[in-house]
A and B are shown apart, each in its own frame.
Chain A
Amino acid sequence: MTEHPLPDPDVAIEWLETMTLIRRFEERAGEMYAKAKVGGFLHLAIGEEATIVGSVRAMRERDYLISTYRSHGHALVRGTNPDNVMAELFGRVDGVCKGRGGSMHMFDIERRFMGGYGIVGGNLPIAAGFALASDYLGSDDATLCQFGDGASNQGTFGETLNLAALWSLPIVFMVTNNQFGMGTALERHSAVTDLHKRGEGFGVPGMQCDGMDALDTYAVTCEALRIAREERRPMLVEAITYRFRGHSMADPEEYRTREQVEEWRKRDPLITFGDRLVAEGVIDDERREQIDKDAIARVDRAVAFADNSPNPPPESLYDDIYVLGGQVRGWWSLDERSPTPHRGEDERDHDQQRYGEDATPSTGEIPQQMTAGLQYREESH
């Protein structure tokens, strides 16, 4: 790979700060998972920070970003408050998605971060839909769609690339090739391992970047976005990277050797980029240390915030399934007498009118068969 010159000092420092924030955030998220503060699955992007920061910094503010179930870093790089990202992991009301999505489903409409998606390959058609809307509405917004090497084997990959090329959509598909689709190595899941070549048959030219190098990732993504935006040609960018941690927290990593991980760790983007900033005199060691301390302090505040944020109230269970007011006239979606162990807000009000104030459902009034689940939830936190 060619050695790219550093951007302006302010920019270079911001990149290092953001990569560091993502790293420290992910590490703390892992700790919080071990303490059972975070439930479900937790997929960390440690090792992929240069891919995330380099590519997203190539975007304009109004461009759409869409990602996968490994998406905390994408929210953070777009500027989503770490407090709200951590609160989402904790499943609290102040989470970016009010605790509805969890780790795999981050979203921030204000920053046009259009979500993390739990279905491998499920986000590609949706991303092309953003690009279709941008194109149709006559804007010059582009879409950056990130997915993993595993997703390149889904049917949506071929279908979406074909349609994007056919309709000349302003979209860059970025395959974050971290060498594994979960625990299956690239050469064991893909007959053609040069993933950037896979778009050619669909009319989508490919480019490759060093995903461990934010500068190279930035340069290649800039060019890809320029082509997509100005020439209305979708592009496929393959970022070669590596995740230092397992696929998820529940991964004994039996599919790779310690030596391989160690080899890639020598190219740790935080270390190499930080070293370069020091070597070129952009920062000194003291500043570098301060950046790290600041990131750790920021993540500490996020954890404290998340810990203090309340659980979503039971009466919010049915909120936001539908947009109300049009064809849907109440929280229920089939019929208000549909069998339901939990009740929504409107139903609670209804009960109060019928039976008076005492009728507010409390834990004690939840039917017997549901209490086991509630107890389990309390214990696991």
Chain B
Amino acid sequence: MAVETQAGIRTIRYRDALNEALREELARDESVILMGEDIGVFNGAFKVTAGLLEEFGERRVRDTPISENTIVGMGVGAAMTGLRPVVELMTINFALLAMDQIINHAAHIRYMFGGQVKVPLVVRMPQGAGHQLGPTHSHSWEAFFLHVPGLLVATPSTAADAKGLLKAAIRDDNPVVFIEHEYLYGQRGEVSDDPDLVADFGRAAIRREGTDVTIVGVSRMAVTAQRAAQGLADQHGISAEVIDPRTLRPLDLDTILASVRKTNRAIIVEEGWPHGGVGANLAALIAEQAFDDLDAPVGRVTGADVPMPYAKPLEEIAYPHEKQIVEAVLATFGDR
């Protein structure tokens, strides 16, 4: 459980940080409701909503049938008429069943109705490989949602961001796709117990300062990138700066560009597929804005271009680890 380190700061798991955010916002604002499959009696497939049904009752914490498109759509409608629904989808793969409501409706309604209405909806979903869940439960698809004007997209990689960004998402008046990570649920980090502390979207975090290369890591890859940076320092004497964008819409390109202008090298690391991915987009933006500052082409480290395999040895090589990041960084230095 929680370990006090200093006044108000505890070391808690990412999933418990999310739980705190939900609990605090439910307590703070009567218009917040939770909907999702097995979030109540079952306490959530990943236990993020544990205890909330007991505390807030079934009027506010609603177990739903397995009807992804409809529960997101009900969230859209309730958001248009006065509530702040938070809908949980059990994995990001299941979000595909709800794409009509997320994109055609949640993202477009304000615009297509001339700004007459707002849609303060949060759709939470976990992503990521590593648990041998095969091709329908393991993907990383920030890129699908990054593509869509009208949505905000958060990809927290720390327990503090899990809490702070989720609170911000719930309080904001725009629809937010909030992408959690299955691996990160069990990771610990320092988190404030201040219920008024809310993180900002559109502000990247420099997770490690460095001078030789910029590594941008998205979602879980922000963590993997930090480990790779440590390896680069220890074994290759390379000082890597690690940036975690934290949100992809809006995006803090300034922090990334400032870093690239300092290091003159950039590597983007994501768990998703290579083509049309977050890295492809960031590489284009960096090339457009900081071409003259680059000493090497922008590199990308991505998941393999395959549906996720079940077999452990194949799954292991289908998403990035420190090794691939180190290799990509070394490649920008030529034969070093």
- Among the listed stretches A127-135, A220-228, A238-246, A345-353, which one makes contact with chain B, having 4 or more residues with CB under 8 Å of it? A127-135
B83, B112, B146 — which one has the most chain A CB atoms within 10 A of its CB? B112
Of all chain A residues, which has the CB nearest B151?
A: A333
Asked if B288 contacts A337 (CB within 8 A), the reply is yes
Contacts of A163 in B (CB 8 A): 64-65, 67, 70-71, 74
- What sequence of 0s and 1s flags, for each residue 91-119 of chain B, a beta carbon within 8 Å of any chain A beta carbon? 00000000011001100011111111110
Contacts of A100 in B (CB 8 A): 111-114
Contacts of B77 in A (CB 8 A): 114, 125-133
Assuming the contacts A129-B79, A326-B171, asked whether A332 and B250 have C-beta atoms less than 8 A apart, the reply is: yes
- What sequence of 0s and 1s flags, for each residue 310-350 of chain A, a beta carbon within 8 Å of any chain B beta carbon? 00000000011111001111001111011100000000000
- What sequence of 0s and 1s flags, for each residue 123-138 of chain B, a beta carbon within 8 Å of any chain A beta carbon? 0000000000000000
**Distance in angstroms between the alpha carbons of A322 and B74 in the assembled complex:** 20
Asked if A132 contacts B78 (CB within 8 A), the reply is yes
Say whether chain A's binding surface is mostly helix, strand, loop, or mixed. Answer: loop
Asked if B150 contacts A128 (CB within 8 A), the reply is no
B67, B77, B116 — which one has the most chain A CB atoms within 10 A of its CB? B77
Of all chain A residues, which has the CB nearest B69?
A: A156
Whether, in the assembled complex, A288 has its beta carbon less than 8 Å from a beta carbon of chain B, the answer is no
B78, B104, B168 — which one has the most chain A CB atoms within 10 A of its CB? B78
Asked if B113 contacts A156 (CB within 8 A), the reply is no
Q: A333 is contacted by which of B69, B114, B249, B285 (Cβ under 8 Å)?
A: B249
Asked if A97 contacts B73 (CB within 8 A), the reply is no
By the criterion of a CB under 8 Å from any partner CB, how many residues of chain B are at the interface?
59
**Distance in angstroms between the alpha carbons of A322 and B117 in the assembled complex:** 10
Whether, in the assembled complex, A376 has its beta carbon less than 8 Å from a beta carbon of chain B, the answer is no
Assuming the contacts A100-B112, A326-B172, asked whether A129 and B75 have C-beta atoms less than 8 A apart, the reply is: yes
**Distance in angstroms between the alpha carbons of A133 and B78 in the assembled complex:** 5
Contacts of B82 in A (CB 8 A): 133, 137
- What sequence of 0s and 1s flags, for each residue 233-257 of chain B, a beta carbon within 8 Å of any chain A beta carbon? 0000000000000011111010000
By the criterion of a CB under 8 Å from any partner CB, how many residues of chain A are at the interface?
55
Whether, in the assembled complex, B200 has its beta carbon less than 8 Å from a beta carbon of chain A, the answer is yes
Contacts of A195 in B (CB 8 A): none
Whether, in the assembled complex, B280 has its beta carbon less than 8 Å from a beta carbon of chain A, the answer is no
Which chain B residues (28-71) contact chain A, with CB distance < 8 Å?
A: 33, 59, 62, 64-65, 67, 69-71
Asked if B81 contacts A323 (CB within 8 A), the reply is no
Of all chain A residues, which has the CB nearest B247?
A: A327
Q: B65 is contacted by which of A97, A115, A126, A162 (Cβ under 8 Å)?
A: A162
Of all chain A residues, which has the CB nearest B73?
A: A125
- What sequence of 0s and 1s flags, for each residue 149-161 of chain B, a beta carbon within 8 Å of any chain A beta carbon? 1101000000000
Contacts of B173 in A (CB 8 A): 323, 326
Whether, in the assembled complex, B274 has its beta carbon less than 8 Å from a beta carbon of chain A, the answer is no
Of all chain A residues, which has the CB nearest B64?
A: A163
Which chain B residues (192-214) contact chain A, with CB distance < 8 Å?
A: 200-202
Contacts of A333 in B (CB 8 A): 149-150, 249-250
Asked if A64 contacts B113 (CB within 8 A), the reply is no
Contacts of B146 in A (CB 8 A): 334
Between A and B, 17 residue pairs with Cβ closer than 8 Å are A97-B116, A105-B112, A109-B116, A118-B104, A119-B104, A125-B74, A126-B73, A128-B74, A129-B75, A130-B81, A160-B73, A163-B64, A321-B110, A327-B152, A328-B202, A328-B250, A334-B248
A interface, CB within 8 angstroms of B: 64, 95-101, 105, 107-109, 114-115, 117-119, 122, 124-134, 136-137, 155-156, 159-160, 162-163, 166-167, 319-323, 326-329, 332-335, 337-339
Since A109-B117, A326-B173 are in contact, a sample of 9 more A-B pairs with Cβ atoms closer than 8 Å, ordered by chain A residue number, is A114-B81, A128-B77, A129-B75, A129-B81, A163-B70, A323-B118, A328-B202, A329-B250, A338-B285
What 10 A-B pairs are tightest by C-beta distance, nearest first?
A129-B77, A125-B73, A320-B115, A97-B114, A159-B70, A327-B201, A126-B77, A98-B114, A159-B67, A323-B173
